[in-house]
A and B are shown apart, each in its own frame.
Chain A
Amino acid sequence: MVRYTLLPALVFLCWNSMSSQTIYAVRGIALGTETADPAYVSSLYSNPVGLLTVRNWEFMSSAVGSFNRRDAIGVGMVGVAYRIGEDQVGALSYTPTQNFLLRFEDAPITPENNGLWPLPSAIEFRDRFRIGFAHRLSDEIALGISGRWVEEDLRTAGSNLQQASVNVSSFLASLWSFNLGFSYNVTSSIRAGALIDNVLALREAYFPDHYRQYEFRPEKIVRIAGAYDVSDRLTVTAEVNSRFASIVGYEWNNVFDVPDFTVRQGFWMTSSSNPVEALSFGLGYSYRALKFDVAYVHFPGSQTPSEGIAPGAFEPLLSLHWNRYTTNRFAFSISYAYHTGTEPLVRIEDVQFFSMVFPVNYRVHAMRPLGYARVQNTTDKTVSARLSFFVPKLMSSPTNTSQFYLGPHEVRDIPFTAEFNESILSVHDETFRDARIAVMEAEVNDYTDIEYKKVLILGRNFWNGDPLMLKYFVTPDEPRVKAFARKALYENIDFLESLPPERQPLEKARLVFNRLANLLSYYADEKTFTSVEEFDRVQYPSETLDLRGGDCDDLSVCYSALMNSLGFETAFVDVRYDSVDENGDNAHIYLLVDTKLPAYVWSSLTSNERKLVVRRNSTNRETLWIPIEPTLITKGFDAAWEQGALEYYHDVELMLGQLRGTVKIVDVY
């Protein structure tokens, strides 16, 4: 065949249009694989089962571009999905400008009258339309199918020598190909997915025989993948496919404690000499019904020729999205979930709190429910959902319940917990904060209903009088507490070392107490009246040291912390009286200090055995404990010990306080 090289590139008008590949599942690209964890309209381009995440209507548009100098950014795809029924979702998408163009280098312009078929100068593949459908078979299993129509446009350049003109001929072919997807919820945090790309390909039109080798031949690829929710924030995914490639990725939500901000990353690996085929990175952000996603994929071994390929070097394309001509590119998408005003599938009817929040023991609410939300399933199918509780500035991220199931039209009270962070300790006075309680339907993975309710957060020093709560004020790890206690011992180290071992615990307790006695005084503090009821205020140990005094609970907490910091266990003795004293109190606190000595050595410490209490410590050993009345702080250790022992003997032994319920002994470990 005679080849003539004439004018180059005139026919390549389309070269300035979109020549980037079709990468529209922006989230999937950033994550690496969406086979096991697909979502949104863009799952038309990955596992169509992901369409089931659409609640009602969802609209999506995406754009792609690359850093290739010939490419520009353009609209990639516009799509819409609609929930047809309780378990079915359908979707359509249109890609107006996303074409894959292959240009052949130095394609000769063949004279038209030489009877030869000219070599192709370019082939454009247009992945125009997609349609998809997903159906939930059960709570665990779902199926999805998507189809696409691909148009192929092969162009040649022929010359008319007589007219000295160049004519471009175009040959069209087209086909339909279908993907079949499957998902299985193994557990509430593990999902499995499978996808067969191009399970069926039906050719509509063909190129002329001489150009058949340039037709698109979609490759059948089988993908098996899994997704695992490591935590509420982190999901990892992995896929292996019949191309002997593996893909791993992760999705990290609420990054840097920014709600609804997501980071994604993916790694494509093959068994070739270049094991890392591609790397991707992406970000996502959602605001109410809007979602924004951006992704960038980098191919270290991309081979796209800048000037075109030789026709003889052309190999039939098996995939439009992923082939050796795919270049580095970025993509972003925006989607909008629209609800037509129908009732949410799961609705919050009421929210109640069990109690107000005391900052001192904020951690208990991570385990003990803070309140409950009454939720209702408005459908006639069983739904699964989760509750989320969040107080801005006092929590790092929402605390979610585990998944629960609601039967058709069922109403249930769902308790929720709250993981506050340390910033709650900066609340000094009672304050009402807005709490957001949201119910999230598991399938949709989006909030279906949100309630805002005020929660009462009390001040950091507030105490409800319960001795079980008092121990949370004991902070033996505070540097000031440690330093104070250690200094009391270091200043008398020689004396301590001269003592027999059984005397040392008692003398350490004495030294610390007497050092405290030089600093502190006892005074009763005022009750605090909140908008709800009356509370006491308790000082943290460092505050008592700063203020140089406190009442019985302040001093008990302070001395307890000091002894705890030295490794001694303590216990609060809480006594309730029938009448009030001159300060208006009907309760009193003092404490016990564990010497860690066995009971039978009591006579080493005192000749009056009733000055010591025998009880079990945290190691389940019977040991000797010293009762201390801290309000006698100015009178010294011996007076405090004697008075404490007297009170204990009276309250517990004579009055049988523990049996009668007027005495509670609470260990501070």
Chain B
Amino acid sequence: MKSRMYLAVLFLLILVPVVRANMVTVVSIKGYAEVRRGMSEQWITLRVGDVLKPEDTIRTGEDAEVTLKVGLSIFSLPAFAIIDVGDIRHLTRNDLLLKLAMEEIRGLPDSRPSTGNATPTVMHGSRRRSSSYPVTYSEVGIMRLEGARALFRHKYYETTILAVKSTLHRYGLRNPLAARRLVAQAFERLGLMQQAIDEYVGCLSLDLSRAEKKEIQRNIRRLEKQL
């Protein structure tokens, strides 16, 4: 009888984490953070203990930080970042390459027109820490890039690549070099050297300083040796 009880407890200890493996919960919040549920257009305050779904989006204010539990792992979102909860996942290499191929077939450009053509739906204003702080259109792009960096740090390289490309597509960062460099690094971490080289080569068409150009060329040569 006792042995059966121990087995049941052991089973539950194993099962519960497995069951909760795909759930994302908010473990801690420093500063101010918000969540947008699904396709809603409203941001609401994020609280500790909130369970997040893949279709949710969270963002952090200045000097904020959010810690999430993703299955058995921990994920930290730094200050002034936006991330789609659904991006906190791994893809197979095949899925990533197919997705990229589909994007290529669609012919999505890497850069967007200047944000001067866009009509912002939020007011211009300085960053604030209080609720429902408005952010500008271009700041959204920067925040999303920051979120992509968080994905990179936590080794979600596949979704880093997709998130950065999506950000470049929608928001047209003033200086896309940092974003493209991040994509190249993610490719490199995945062992996709040729794709990394292609990304660095694409960077050469940007308006770069001499130092930046040299650095890019150095990376290209380094990767070519590894091929």
Contacts and interface: CB of A to CB of B under 8 A. Distances in A.
Interface of A: 502, 599-604, 606-611, 614-616, 622, 641-643, 645-646, 649-650, 653-654, 656, 658-659
Interface string B115-154: 0011111100000000000000100000000000000000
B107 A601 contact: no
A610 B122 CA distance: 17
A598 B54 CA distance: 27
A642 B40 contact: yes
Contacts of A658: 102
B113 A614 contact: no
21 contacts: A599-B169, A599-B170, A600-B118, A601-B119, A604-B121, A608-B36, A608-B39, A608-B40, A611-B39, A614-B169, A616-B106, A616-B107, A641-B39, A646-B38, A650-B55, A653-B86, A654-B55, A654-B86, A656-B91, A659-B99, A659-B102
B108 interface: yes
A606 B41 contact: yes
Contacts of A653: 86
A604 B117 CA distance: 11
B110 to A, nearest CB: 13
B39 to A, nearest CB: 4
B98 interface: yes
B50 interface: no
Contacts of A599: 169-170
Q: Is the interface of A mostly helix, strand, loop or mixed?
A: helix
B172 interface: yes
Given A502-B119, A615-B106, A622-B108, A610 B39 contact: yes
Nearest to B166: A609
B117 A600 contact: yes
Contacts of A601: 117-119
Contacts of A642: 38-40
Contacts of A641: 39
Given A600-B112, A646-B39, A607 B122 contact: yes
B224 interface: no
Given A645-B39, A649-B55, A656-B91, 16 more contacts: A502-B119, A600-B172, A601-B119, A603-B121, A604-B118, A607-B41, A608-B39, A611-B41, A642-B39, A643-B39, A646-B38, A649-B86, A650-B54, A653-B86, A656-B98, A658-B102
Contacts of B99: 656, 659
B98 to A, nearest CB: 5
B95 interface: yes
Contacts of A616: 106-107
A602 B102 CA distance: 21
Nearest to B36: A608
Given A609-B170, A614-B169, A659-B98, A603 B39 contact: no
Which of A599, A608, A609, A614 is most buried by chain B, counting CB atoms within 10 A of its CB? A608
Nearest to A645: B39
Contacts of B86: 649, 653-654
Interface string B56-92: 0100000000000000000000000000101000010
B41 to A, nearest CB: 5
B119 A604 contact: yes
Contacts of B107: 616, 622
A610 B39 CA distance: 7
Contacts of B118: 600-601, 603-604
A649 B102 CA distance: 16
Nearest to A649: B55
Which of A600, A604, A611, A645 is most buried by chain B, counting CB atoms within 10 A of its CB? A600
B95 A656 contact: yes
Nearest to A603: B121
A628 B81 CA distance: 30
B169 A607 contact: no
A646 B55 contact: yes
A611 B36 CA distance: 12
Nearest to A627: B39
A654 B41 contact: no
Contacts of B119: 502, 601, 603-604
A608 B170 contact: no
Contacts of A649: 39, 55, 86
B56 to A, nearest CB: 10
A602 B170 contact: yes
B93 to A, nearest CB: 12
Interface string B1-44: 00000000000000000000000000000000000101111000
B52 to A, nearest CB: 13
A642 B36 CA distance: 13
Nearest to B98: A659
B30 to A, nearest CB: 25
A622 B112 CA distance: 12
A611 B37 CA distance: 12
A303 B125 CA distance: 105
A645 B37 CA distance: 13
A608 B41 contact: yes
B217 to A, nearest CB: 31
A599 B98 CA distance: 22
Contacts of B84: 610
A615 B122 CA distance: 25
B125 to A, nearest CB: 15
6 pairs of A and B residues whose beta carbons are closest in the complex: A645-B39, A642-B39, A604-B119, A659-B98, A603-B121, A607-B121
Contacts of A603: 118-121, 137
Nearest to A653: B86
B134 to A, nearest CB: 11
A506 to B, nearest CB: 13
B121 A659 contact: no
A509 B70 CA distance: 39
A616 B39 CA distance: 22
Nearest to B97: A659
A653 B86 CA distance: 9
A650 B38 CA distance: 10
A649 B54 CA distance: 10
A606 B84 CA distance: 17
Given A607-B41, A608-B39, A646-B38, A600 B113 contact: yes
Contacts of B122: 607
A569 B75 CA distance: 42
A649 B84 CA distance: 11
A567 to B, nearest CB: 23
Given A606-B41, A649-B39, A659-B102, A614 B108 contact: yes
A614 B102 CA distance: 13
A659 B170 contact: no
A147 to B, nearest CB: 73
